[in-house]
């Protein structure tokens, strides 16, 4: 009995905490920083909502940057059953990069951005 319980416990503990590949994946892309494309939860770059502090975004304004990070998909309202009353939020799913690594193109080379130029 003990021999069956240990493998079953290990299997169910990993199965319960696993993430699907659709929900989290690593991406890397280049974009020109544009602070006019901001929302309350980040900046819209290449169809992603990138979480960059506003002060850092102002420093990066107009620069060519490379964003690397884990994508988290936030489900939109279309995926939830309709309820009575007012619905708030986005209709479609959105892809967020919450803790991006940022590199700046300087003199033809990528330099890691550490919060100051």
Mean pLDDT of the chain: 79
Q: Identify each DSSP E strand in the chain by its residue range.
A: 24-32, 38-39, 42-45, 48-50, 64-74, 94-97, 101-106, 109-112
Q: What is the pLDDT of residues 52-69, one digit of tens each?
A: 999 999 999 999 999 999
On the question of pLDDT at 42 being above 80, the answer is yes
Choice between 92 and 102, residue whose per-residue pLDDT is larger: 102
Q: Is residue 34 part of a domain?
A: yes
Q: Which residues of 40-52 are buried (b: 16+ CB within 10 A; e: fewer)?
A: eebbbbeebbbeb
Encoded tokens for 91: 């209709």
Q: Which domain holds residue 48?
A: 20-78+88-110
| Percent of the chain at pLDDT exceeding 90 | 50
Q: Is residue 116 part of a domain?
A: no
On the question of pLDDT at 22 being above 90, the answer is no
Q: Is residue 5 part of a domain?
A: no
Q: How far is Cα 111 from Cα 73, in angstroms, rounded to an integer?
A: 28
On the question of pLDDT at 7 being above 90, the answer is no
């Amino acid at each position: 009995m003990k021999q069956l319980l240990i493998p079953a416990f290990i299997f169910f503990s990993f199965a319960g905490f696993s993430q699907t590949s659709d929900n989290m994946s690593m991406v890397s892309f280049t974009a020109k920083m544009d602070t006019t494309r901001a929302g309350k939860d980040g900046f819209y770059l290449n169809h992603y909502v990138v979480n960059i502090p506003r002060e850092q975004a102002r420093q990066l304004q107009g620069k060519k940057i490379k964003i690397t990070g884990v994508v988290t998909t936030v489900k939109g309202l279309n995926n939830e059953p309709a309820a009575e009353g007012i619905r708030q939020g986005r209709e479609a799913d959105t892809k967020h990069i919450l803790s991006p690594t940022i590199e700046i193109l300087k003199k033809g080379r990528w330099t890691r951005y550490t919060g100051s130029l």
